[in-house]
Chains A and B, each alone.
Chain A
Amino acid sequence: MKNTQTRKIELVKSQANKNIQVQPIPVVLNQCKRAFTTRHVNLGDAHTLLTGEVKPKAGDLVLCEVTRLRQHCRIEQPNGRRSRMFVHDKIVVCYGNRYAPDQFESVVPDDLSACHLVAGGGVASHMRFKSPKVKPATEIQPLGLLGNKHGQVLNLNQYNVLTPSKTETSKNIPILLVSGSSMNAGKTTTVASLIKGLTADGFNVSAAKVTGTGSGGDLWHFIDAGVSKAIDFTDAGLVSTYLMSNQSLVRLFDEMITYLKTPQTDVIVVEVADGILQGETKALLESPEIINATTAMVYTAGDSSSAVYGDNWLKSLGYNVLGISGVVSSNPLGVQEVEKMTSTPIFKKKETVAAGFGHQLHDMLLELSLSPLRVDK
């Protein structure tokens, strides 16, 4: 269900005690650098700038000024171009939470004070932890939340574009889930290879990224591999999924699958971001609704021990783990170690894109989808 709730913020005098100012926007928004996360927003809806004692929420649109360039020197635009930023540039981004062990952990701040650009896709947030692998986050100064004519804050949740297909289908469409041991375990590469393998063999594939932080990189990767439809949580009006309740995530998963189920679709591939031990990912994978909806799983791992651990854990939950892939699959010794410990086959990138792999995978998925596993709540 779309969340179309908005927060009404009255003009200055009517809420003088809150000290919120509703004022005109001093810049032409179309001339500002606009982030990927805001791509579904009609900037023509933005007429006011809300400043003062406003408490931002995840998904709120915010006009910011770049004050110090650090980790992210570029901002990804709606069309995917990574535009260089300069100090004093005005950017249109969204507030959001981020969990990325290789970069930052950050949360939506309580006010409009200076904060950070924690993702090139356009996420304004307060950085709490950073990985030693990266520089501190780029510093930005929020100038105000973008509001409509009536002073109501514009939020991404008003721009959910996942309207289900008008033609309902009774077709049995298998859902292949891809999860991983951690960030950068090779999930997106694996998803793209599986897509390539399937589409090269003539299947119509749709893909979704159900969790993570708003950025186009993975979606472009899916599209380049040949999917007919690629969506992520930003299409559902969310800037990121960190700190969301499991109930909401399950609903999001369901919404995305409903959207992708069209008569033309043969296979739906869904990527779950981060590692299986990350709070939201773990809870989502443990949900009976997800286990029951999923036909099979391909698990990606960074090394052999995490491959064996994850394979066992996912099987214990009831998933049909079809294969192990990712970084470990490109390491011959790692492959040997895994093969000694589990009967789950290793999917190497080369094999997944080879002629006939798509047919083989589709046959397996179809067979599994005809005898689905049921896990009780």
Chain B
Amino acid sequence: MIMQKTNKNNPKFRGSIKKGSLSSCDKLKYYYVKGSQEITNIVVLVHGISRNAEEIINSFSQQMSPDSLLIAPVFSKDYATDYQRLGRKNKGPRADYILQAIINELSTQYDIEVNKINLFGFSAGAQFVQRYAFAHPAQVKKVAIVSAGWYTMPSFSEYYPYGLKLRNEFADIDFEFMRFLRVKYRVYVGEKDYLRDKSLNKSKKVDRLQGQNRLERAESWTNKMNRCFEKYAIKNRVSLEVLKNVTHDFSLADSLGHLCGKVSHWFKQED
């Protein structure tokens, strides 16, 4: 079922936000905006634990080019309980499967042929997009990781989700350095995102391995990734952008840090 929502008051508005539910499972909702031209750019926007999918897609729709399809899946609290970590065995459905099913459904519906997607995730959504890119690098072009609480480090010495060593979390995922290091990553974090708030993972292990807050953790991951590029002689680099005066808040990141504009522009850039 698709419901249409328009925002006529917004002068920059380029497309109407539609709400759909997956035909195979109507409890799985998503928002999307399809540009008027032939689609060459699929952008997936993943919410944090506040499930602000509509807010995120609304902000991005103001920056979108007419050849883009924006998709914002809603990973509900009662269904996709482990979505940040992709939905490990016995911990809920696979969130990567959900996203793939949504993309397949829309691609079929609108006859879209796009091989690689761009991913944007905020907070818990940033964790999801980072892990999704590691798990399915062949499907991903660029990843914007914004204010992730913590990360999966590119290292086989730690068990997943801290590192890449798998027990039996997934039947069909193999993390391959030589593939996921080819994906383009950018990390964004608020300058004032240093509070150890109640939603932050405060486990000793994460503190020890990645730092005390989101700022430190973003730096740790960025540095570790850049060391990996050097080690494997891959011409790639993760850049970390600190958004001035921004706390752990999506709307502030967009209004003060012009986040959506920056990310949209980067996604459209040819590398």
Which bracket fits the contact residues of B? Answer: 20 to 34
Residue B23 interfacial (CB < 8 Å): yes
User: Nearest chain-A residue to B103 (Cβ)?
Assistant: A26
Apart from the given pairs A22-B25, A51-B93, 20 other A-B contacts in the complex at a CB distance below 8 Å: A11-B27, A12-B93, A19-B90, A21-B93, A21-B94, A23-B94, A23-B97, A24-B24, A24-B97, A24-B100, A26-B96, A26-B101, A26-B104, A47-B25, A48-B25, A52-B90, A112-B171, A142-B171, A143-B172, A149-B24
Residue A295 interfacial (CB < 8 Å): no
User: Bound complex: CA of A286 vs CA of B226, how far in Å?
Assistant: 73
Q: List, in ascending order, chain A residues with CB within 8 A of B100's CB.
A: 24, 26-27
- CB pair B23 A141 closer than 8 Å: no
- CB pair A23 B93 closer than 8 Å: yes
User: Bound complex: CA of A24 vs CA of B89, how far in Å?
Assistant: 15
User: Nearest chain-B residue to A46 (Cβ)?
Assistant: B24
- CB pair A48 B24 closer than 8 Å: yes
Residues of B77-114 contacting chain A, CB below 8 A:
78-79, 87, 89-90, 92-94, 96-98, 100-102, 104, 108
Which bracket fits the contact residues of A? Answer: 20 to 34
| Shortest distance from the beta carbon of A56 to any chain B beta carbon, whole Å | 14
Q: List, in ascending order, chain A residues with CB within 8 A of B96's CB.
A: 26
Q: List, in ascending order, chain A residues with CB within 8 A of B228's CB.
A: none
**What is the number of contacts between chain A and chain B, taking CB atoms within 8 Å?**
62
7 contacts between A and B (CB under 8 A): A21-B92, A21-B93, A21-B94, A25-B97, A26-B96, A65-B172, A149-B24
Q: List, in ascending order, chain A residues with CB within 8 A of B172's CB.
A: 65, 88, 141, 143
Residue B22 interfacial (CB < 8 Å): yes
Residue A49 interfacial (CB < 8 Å): yes
User: Bound complex: CA of A141 vs CA of B108, how far in Å?
Assistant: 27
| Shortest distance from the beta carbon of A18 to any chain B beta carbon, whole Å | 11
Residue A81 interfacial (CB < 8 Å): no
User: Bound complex: CA of A27 vs CA of B97, how far in Å?
Assistant: 8
Residue A13 interfacial (CB < 8 Å): yes
- CB pair A49 B171 closer than 8 Å: no
- CB pair B101 A25 closer than 8 Å: yes
Residue B28 interfacial (CB < 8 Å): yes
- CB pair A49 B97 closer than 8 Å: yes
- CB pair B171 A28 closer than 8 Å: no
- CB pair A23 B104 closer than 8 Å: no
User: Bound complex: CA of A60 vs CA of B36, how far in Å?
Assistant: 43
Q: List, in ascending order, chain A residues with CB within 8 A of B94's CB.
A: 21, 23, 26, 51
| Shortest distance from the beta carbon of B28 to any chain A beta carbon, whole Å | 7
- CB pair A24 B22 closer than 8 Å: yes
| Shortest distance from the beta carbon of B236 to any chain A beta carbon, whole Å | 23
- CB pair A24 B171 closer than 8 Å: no
- CB pair A23 B90 closer than 8 Å: no
User: Bound complex: CA of A279 vs CA of B182, how far in Å?
Assistant: 56
Q: List, in ascending order, chain B residues with CB within 8 A of A48's CB.
A: 24-25
Residues of A82-113 contacting chain B, CB below 8 A:
88, 112
Q: List, in ascending order, chain A residues with CB within 8 A of B78's CB.
A: 13
- Could you give, for residues 1-44 of chain A, a 1 whenever the CB lies within 8 Å of some chain B CB and a 0 otherwise? 00000000001110000010111111110000000000000000
Q: List, in ascending order, chain A residues with CB within 8 A of B92's CB.
A: 12, 21
Q: List, in ascending order, chain A residues with CB within 8 A of B108's CB.
A: 28
User: Bound complex: CA of A11 vs CA of B79, how far in Å?
Assistant: 10
Smallest CB-CB A-B distances: 7 pairs: A24-B101, A47-B24, A23-B93, A26-B97, A26-B100, A24-B24, A21-B93
| Shortest distance from the beta carbon of B144 to any chain A beta carbon, whole Å | 23
Q: List, in ascending order, chain A residues with CB within 8 A of B101's CB.
A: 24-26
Q: List, in ascending order, chain B residues with CB within 8 A of A51's CB.
A: 93-94
- CB pair A65 B171 closer than 8 Å: yes
Of B92, B100, B104, B172, most A-chain CB atoms within 10 Å: B172
User: Bound complex: CA of A88 vs CA of B92, how far in Å?
Assistant: 23
Q: List, in ascending order, chain A residues with CB within 8 A of B28's CB.
A: 24
Question: Given that A12-B79, A22-B25, A47-B24 are known contacts, is A27 also in contact with B90, CB under 8 Å in the complex?
Answer: no
User: Bound complex: CA of A51 vs CA of B89, how far in Å?
Assistant: 9
| Shortest distance from the beta carbon of B200 to any chain A beta carbon, whole Å | 27
User: Nearest chain-A residue to B172 (Cβ)?
Assistant: A65
Residues of A132-161 contacting chain B, CB below 8 A:
141-143, 149
